[in-house]
Amino acid sequence: MSQSPENKKGQVETTGHVWDGDLREYNNPLPRWWLWGFYGTIIFAIVYWILYPAWPYADTYTKGVATVSFQTPVLDKEGQPVKAADGTVEMHTKTEHWNSRALFYQEMQTSPSALAQQEWLAKVKDMSFEQIAANPDTLNFANSMGHALFGDHCAACHGTGGQGVLSMNPEASYPNLTDNAWIHGGDYTKIVQDMTNGIQGNMPAFGALFKGEKLTDLAQYVLSLSHQPGVNEEAANRGKASFATCAGCHGANGTGNQMIGAPNLTDKIWDFVDVTGAPTIEGKLKLVEGVIDHGLQHQMPKFSDRLTPEQIRLLAVYVRQLGGT
């Protein structure tokens, strides 16, 4: 049985406000759950102020009593880290008032995922590349770490699967890492070196040296090295003499030189211009002529600033497996 407002009149206190002559507002007490919730937030705020950074005053603020501890290097008088005889940095525990940066250092050092990673990093620390690759467990670790690092640092150019980008424009092509050809060498140490220091690939432009028919003949010869269908043998033979200029880098028989990053021209693998993708021999010639004419400049950034030596080592294990012999 609901009570009509008239019945309630006189029983429940009103606020005393009157609208339009007869509209009144009841002054009912607030629901108890709401009221306690409200008091709860006040208590929460006071506890928060005591524990955490809260109130500003002058040029600083109340720091709170909650603390965060993490390991930090011991510093000498000049502010430089103290190193033990074997080169390891001496660490000590630093305790600071609660703040997100201290929490970050703590997370980097003691979170379960960080500890798990440290454990595996310690395991592979003194192993050779071959040993890491031979043990299924360490290989699994190197691959999962390598895959994540590759996706973030390498995939933008070399593709998510390491397949690279091969187009008709050499400036917009990036080497395929999954084929058998290692332009700069596929040894672990060489891969590490190239990722650490970056690569400055540079083939000079020979447009001034070879023009017109001479250029076409040379391109014919280059294509004949890998037995491309449709090559004019006669023209290729004429171009052979000009190849002496190229032999300095690509070798007398065109097999390339990994020391200076000159690709092998005798295999059917093309890293910078999609010769295979050009449907006609004229198209293939045009691509090769273009490279001879303009040269080729390619740079890979160095990753020594972004990746730790340990990360680069594991990434090298991953990358080495992508390619063949």
Partner 1 sequence: MKHESIEINSALLIILTLLVISIGGLVEIVPLFHIKGTVEKVDGIHPYTPLEQLGRDVYVREGCYLCHSQMIRPFRDEQLRYGHYSLAAESQYDHPFQWGSKRTGPDLARVGGKYSNEWMTQHLIHPQSLVPESIMPSYPWLMQPLKFGDIEARMRALRDVGVPYSINQAEYDANVKKFGKALADQFVIANGVASVKEEAASQNWDGNPKEITQMDALVAYLQVLGTMVDFSKYNQGYFSTFR
Question: What token pair was written down for 238?
Answer: 């004429």
- Residue in 234, 213, 214, 215 with CA at minimum distance from that of residue 224: 234
Q: Which of 35, 47, 108, 115 binds partner 1 (CB under 8 A)?
A: 108
Q: Does 318 bind partner 1 (CB under 8 A)?
A: no
Helices 309-322 and 112-125 cross at an angle (nearest 10°) of: 70
Pairwise CA distance, residues 89 & 13, whole Å: 74
Work out whether 23 is an interface residue with partner 1 (CB under 8 A): no
Cβ neighbours of residue 262 closer than 8 Å, sequence gap 6 or more: 183, 203, 249, 250, 251, 256
Instruction: Give CA–CA dist 225/268, Å, rounded.
Output: 9
Stretch that binds partner 1, among 135-143, 171-179, 287-295, 314-322 (CB under 8 A): 171-179
Q: What are phi and psi of 23, to 5 degrees?
A: -85, 125
Site string for partner 1, 52-91 (x = CB under 8 A): -x--x-xxxx--------xxxx-x-----x----------
> Which of 157, 209, 260, 281 touches partner 1 (CB under 8 A)?
157
Binding mask 200-229 for partner 1 (x = CB under 8 A): ------------------------------
Report CA Rg, the chain. 35
Q: In the complex, what is the shortest distance from the CB of residue 178 to partner 1, in angstroms, rounded to a whole number?
A: 15
Q: Which is nearer to partner 1, 148 or 281 (CB)?
A: 148
Please count the residues of this chain forming the interface with partner 1, following the rule CB under 8 A: 45
Q: Which listed range, 24-32, 146-154, 203-211, 236-244, lies at the site for partner 1 (CB under 8 A)?
A: 146-154
Q: Does 306 bind partner 1 (CB under 8 A)?
A: yes
Smallest separation (angstroms) from partner 1 to the CB of 99: 4
Binding flag, residue 46, partner 1 (CB under 8 A) = no
Q: How far apart are CA 264 and CA 158, in angstroms?
A: 19
The count of C-alpha atoms lying within 13 angstroms of the C-alpha of 253, restricted to the half-sphere facing its C-beta, is: 3
Cα 208 from Cα 292, distance rounded (Å) = 10
The CB density around residue 199, as the number of other CB atoms within 10 Å, is: 17
Question: Would you count residue 155 as binding partner 1 (CB under 8 A)?
Answer: yes
Q: Which residues make up the interface to partner 1 (CB under 8 A)? A: 53, 56, 58-61, 70-73, 75, 81, 94, 96, 99-105, 107-108, 111, 113-114, 148, 152-153, 155-157, 159-160, 165, 167, 171-172, 174, 298-301, 305-306
